[in-house]
């Protein structure tokens, strides 16, 4: 396995995990937001923590997707230039 294949492999894995984490935290956030917790203070803290996790997962997913696109572009260019 050469370096480009290794980077492509790990980028694919990180991208898939990041999007799965984003979708999981997003669904948990909606579940907490709609849950019948009697204490509004606990609900606000839980909602705030989940919203932060959703933003972190979203930016991780978006960043890894952009990185994956760059790796694919470089792979196409190197194949065209060097005849891969």
- The values of phi and psi at residue 39, to 5°, are -90, 120
Cβ-in-10-Å burial (0-12, 13-18, 19+) of 71 comes to middle
pTM above 0.75, yes or no: no
pLDDT at 4: 73
Q: pLDDT tens digits for 30-69?
A: 777 776 767 677 667 667 777 887 788 788 878 888 888 8
CA torsion angle 70 73 75 76 (round to 10): 180
Per-residue confidence (pLDDT) for residue 42, from 0 to 100: 64
Residue 84 pLDDT: 58
Separation of alpha carbons 29 and 81, rounded Å: 47
pLDDT value for 50: 75
- Mean pLDDT in the chain? 79
């Amino acid at each position: 396995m050469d370096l480009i294949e290794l980077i492509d492999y790990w980028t694919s894995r990180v991208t898939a995990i990041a999007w799965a984490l984003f979708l999981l935290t997003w669904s948990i956030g909606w579940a907490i937001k709609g849950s019948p917790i009697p204490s509004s203070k606990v609900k606000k803290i839980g909602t705030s923590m989940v919203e932060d996790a959703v933003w972190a997962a979203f930016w991780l997913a978006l960043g890894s997707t952009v990185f994956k696109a760059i790796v694919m572009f470089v792979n196409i260019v190197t194949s065209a230039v060097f005849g891969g």
